[in-house]
Amino acid sequence: MITLAGYGWRHAGRRAWALRGVDLRIERGERVLLLGPSGAGKSTLLSALAGLLHTSSGEAEGVLKVEGQAGIVFQDPQSQIVMSRAGDEVAFGLENLGRPADQIWPRVDEVLDQVGFPYGRGRRTDELSGGEQQRLVLAGALAARPDVLLLDEPTANLDPAGAALVRSILHRLDLTLILVEHRIEEFLPLITRVVVLEPGGGVRADGPPSLLSGPLGADLARDGVWVPGHPMIRRPSPAPGPRLLRSSNLVVRRKAYPDLSIQAGEAVAVTGPNGVGKSTLALALGGLLRPDSGRVVTPDGEPHKWRARRLATRIGSVFQNPEHQFVASSVRDELALGGTPPSRVDELLDRLRLTELARANPFTLSGGQARRLSVATALAAAPSLVILDEPTFGQDRRTWNELVDLLSEWRAAGHGILTVTHDPSVVAALADREVALT
C-alpha cells in the first residue's frame, strides 16, 4: 500500500535533512509504530505520507507512493481545526469531497459518537480543551473512511480515560494505521510492526514488537526512546521557601477553583480529566486571564494588572500549544527576546538540544523541539515562578529527562514551578504536591 525508496526530505532553509535514505514497504492492514529519538523525522514522514510536503517548502528525493486515501491526526489539534462549531468541523472534509448533504450529517453524528466526543454538533471549537479538540480531529479524520490513518501522538493531550477510549477506537478500526507515539507501552497490543528511524539516516530497525524486549530495546532506551521496563528517577526536593503566589475564591470563565499557593523551591502539579479547566487555571495564575472574581496575588501585587515586560520577568508561562508564544524568525532570536544575554541563550540551546537548530524558524520545528523551545523561552528571563502547560509533551526519553532535570535545578535554585500535566511520570519524578481538579 505504501512504498518508499531512498526517500528524503529537507525543509527549506535547513542544511540537514529531516529524513534521508528511507526504504520502506507497508502492506494494507498493517499497524505500524514509528519510533526514534525526537527530531528523527517521524512527524515529517507522516506529513509526507499524507501528501502535505510541497516542493515550495523544501526539497524531496527518492520515491514515495501511497495507494488510497489517507487521513492524518497531528500533534497539535488546533493546527487542524478550521471551523467554529464541532459538527461543521467534521463535515468540512466531507463537503470538500462532494458528499451528498443527506449523507454528511448522519456520518458526522456517527463519528462524533465513535470517538466519545462529549458534546453535540453545535459546540464551539474554541471552547474545547486540548483533549476534546483531539477527539474532534480524530472524528474529522475518520469521517471520510480513509484507507490509511496516520497518527502523530494521538493521546498526548488526553487524560487517561480519554487515551484509553482512543486506543479502543483504534483497536476496532479495519484500516492501515501508522502511529507515532512516544509512550508506547499501552499501544503495543495494537501494533503488528515496529519501524525505528535513525536521525538523518533511514531505517535503523524493522520487525515485530517483540524486537523491543531484546538488545534493541536496551539500545533504544539509551538513545532516548521510551521503552517499557525502564523507570524514571525521582528528583530530590529542597526545603520550600517563602510563598510566591496564592489564589483565593478564584472564579475564571464561570468555573470556581480551589485555593492554591506556590512557594519558592516547590513544584506543584495540577492534574485532572480533560475539560475541567486546568489550562484556564494556568493562564489565570500566570496573569494572562483576569479572574471573574476572587484573587491571584504575589508579594508584588496581582499579576493580571502588570504590564507585559514586568510579568515576563516575574512569571514565565508555557502554553499548551508552543506555537502560540513564538514571535521571532529563528530559535536563537526567540530566546534572545527581552535582552537575554548571549551566554544564557547558548546555555539553554545546549541544555535542550537545540544548538543545531539555532538558525531555524521556530515554526519548522518538530512538536518535541517546539515544546523544548517554549520551555526555554519561559526560563530565559529567570522569573521567580514558571507555569507550564504539558511541558513534556512530544519528548523522547532523553529530552524528557533533560527537561525534568532542568526544572529540578530551577526548583533547587529557589524558583517555584506549577505544571499542568497528564504525564504521571512528571508527577512522580518532580512534583512536591498534586492538585487534582474535578
- In three-state form (DSSP H/G/I as H, E/B as E, the rest C), the secondary structure along the chain is CEEEEEEEEEECCCCCCCEEEEEEEECCCCEEEEECCCCCCHHHHHHHHCCCCCHHHEEEEEEEEECCCEEEECCCHHHCCCCCEHHHHHHHHHHHCCCCHHHHHHHHHHHHHHCCCCCCCCCEHHHCCHHHHHHHHHHHHHHCCCCEEEEECCCCCCCHHHHHHHHHHHHHCCCEEEEECCCCHHHHHHCCEEEEECCCCCEEEEECHHHHHCHHHHHHHHHCCCCCCCCCCCCCCCCCCCEEEEEEEEEECCEECCCEEEECCCEEEEECCCCCCHHHHHHHHCCCCCCCEEEEEECCECHHHCCHHHHHHHEEEECCCHHHHCCCCCHHHHHHCCCCCHHHHHHHHHHCCCHHHCCCCHHHCCHHHHHHHHHHHHHHCCCCEEEEECCCCCCCHHHHHHHHHHHHHHHHCCCEEEEECCCHHHHHHHCCEEEECC
| pLDDT tens digits for range 61-90 | 999 999 999 999 987 787 889 999 999 999
Confidence class of residue 430 from pLDDT cuts 50, 70 and 90?
Answer: very high
Q: What is the model's pLDDT at position 275?
A: 82
pLDDT at 368: 79
What pLDDT does 371 receive? 86
Give the domains, in start order, of the chain with CATH numbers. Answer: 2-223 (3.40.50.300), 243-436 (3.40.50.300)
Q: Return the pLDDT at 223.
A: 79
Q: How confident is the model at residue 127 (pLDDT cuts 50, 70, 90)?
A: confident
Q: Is the pLDDT of residue 195 over 80?
A: yes
Span of 263-267, 376-380, 394-398 with lowest mean pLDDT: 394-398
Give residue 66's pLDDT: 95
| 163, pLDDT greater than 90 | no
The whole-number pLDDT of residue 373 equals 92
For position 16, what pLDDT does the model report?
A: 87
Report, as an integer, the average pLDDT of 326-354.
Answer: 91
Q: What is the pLDDT of residue 235?
A: 93
Average pLDDT, the chain: 91
Q: Tell me the pLDDT tens digit for each residue of 271-318.
A: 998 889 999 999 999 999 999 999 999 999 999 999 988 998 899 999
